[in-house]
């Protein structure tokens, strides 16, 4: 069974139990544009408690009137018809349940995202969304000043849909986005990053053009900086490293793995790609080779340095680490092993038992 057909069955089940239910938002938009449907949202006036009697449910979003239902092999987000009131932080509204679709539609962001569809695939258009869809326009449903002042995330969503669909942003909507761009500073870095990446890697560059032309990121300077240095051809996993290289600080979103890769990148550059750091990070360099190339380092030279190392693994040492450990105490063990490896890599001694033992005898740490 296809995802969309499974959703039609869910609508039928709810209708057969005496309640209204419609596909709403992106699923209708993408269906009409013949795009792949990844998520299906359903709006209904069936109480959540009654939905629980019909479907297996995840109710983590219940405070916003939404639940995830599971039907056959699919999942769907179902939201009770509602209206949003009293936005407290330019983001999160208090909600009030209502009984009709027409009231629910008024709370949505853009006309193309407010189209509904019933179980017979009939489109319900209460806000001229079909006209904007045909004309490739992104337009706020309500007064745009009110809309963006209520929820600043809508600015990023407008940019994303422009980038995803190749649609232009209607003039009044765009002017209001420019007016309220300062509210983006109220959003969490995580939320901005989510849309930042979606805009950067979308099918069209319209969103990026709007950002640059109207300086829409002027109040989220870290992301403005990031946008100025990255290209949509860059690997997503490497974006944090480019930011670190340019500004010598971690990007606004950088997890522990990203920070580790940034440190390795910095160590290699700071050491001027010494033999020891090439040896130490030879596996990591392979995953960073494109990053180095994009910031001006010779990737072939790095590959040759790895290939020509006189030692690739400490197991290749003519005197084992265990044997060296017997000659030293405490932290001097690791120091001695490191010094032996450096000496071999730099060609100061050969990787023979005789040369290594002579070298160890001459180390200052042996007297400690």
SS (H, E, C) 121-172: CCEECCCCHHHHHHHCEECECCCHHHHHHHCCHHHHHHHHHHHHHCCEECHH
Residues of the chain with pLDDT below 50 are 366-368
CA distances from residue 110 to 8, 82, 234, 291 in whole angstroms, order as listed: 24, 17, 31, 38
Q: Which pLDDT tens digit goes with each residue over 249-265? A: 999 999 999 999 999 99
CA distance 166 to 81: 30
346 CB neighbour count, 10 Å cutoff: 12
- Which pTM value belongs to this model? 0.84
pLDDT at res. 368: 41
pLDDT at res. 109: 94
CA distance 283 to 156: 38
**SS3 of 62, please?**
helix
CA distance 31 to 29: 6
> What residues does 43 pair with on adjacent strands?
22, 79
């Amino acid at each position: 069974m296809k995802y969309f057909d499974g959703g039609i069955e869910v609508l039928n089940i709810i209708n057969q139990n005496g309640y209204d239910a419609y596909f709403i938002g992106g699923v209708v938009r993408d269906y009409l544009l013949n795009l792949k449907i990844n998520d299906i949202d359903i709006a209904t006036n069936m109480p959540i408690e009654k939905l629980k009697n019909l479907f297996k449910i995840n109710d983590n979003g219940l405070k916003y009137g939404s639940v995830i239902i599971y039907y056959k092999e699919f999942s769907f987000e179902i939201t009770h018809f509602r209206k949003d009131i009293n936005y407290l932080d330019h983001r999160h509204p208090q909600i009030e349940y209502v009984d009709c679709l027409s009231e629910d539609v008024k709370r949505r962001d853009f006309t193309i995202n407010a189209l509904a569809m019933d179980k017979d695939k009939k489109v319900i258009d209460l806000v001229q969304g079909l006209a904007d869809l045909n004309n490739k326009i992104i337009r706020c449903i309500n007064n745009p000043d009110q809309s963006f002042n209520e929820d600043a995330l809508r600015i990023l969503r407008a940019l994303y849909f422009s980038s995803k669909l190749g649609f232009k942003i209607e003039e009044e909507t765009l002017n209001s986005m420019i007016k309220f761009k300062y509210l983006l500073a109220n959003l969490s870095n995580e939320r901005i990053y989510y849309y930042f990446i979606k805009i950067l890697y979308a099918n069209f560059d319209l969103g990026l053009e709007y950002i640059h032309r109207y300086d829409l990121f002027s109040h989220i300077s870290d992301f403005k900086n990031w946008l100025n240095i990255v290209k949509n051809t860059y690997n997503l996993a490497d974006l944090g490293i480019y930011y670190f290289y340019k500004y010598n600080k971690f990007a606004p979103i950088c997890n522990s793995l990203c920070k580790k890769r940034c440190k390795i990148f910095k160590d290699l550059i700071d050491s001027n790609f010494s033999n020891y750091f090439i040896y130490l990070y030879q596996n990591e360099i392979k995953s960073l080779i494109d990053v180095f190339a994009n910031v001006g380092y010779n990737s072939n030279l790095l590959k040759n340095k790895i290939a020509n190392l006189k030692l690739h693994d400490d197991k290749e040492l003519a005197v084992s680490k265990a044997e060296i450990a017997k000659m030293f105490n405490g932290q001097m063990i690791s120091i001695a092993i490191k010094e032996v490896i450096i000496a071999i890599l730099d060609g100061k001694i050969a990787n023979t038992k005789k040369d290594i033992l002579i070298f160890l005898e001459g180390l200052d740490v042996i007297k400690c």
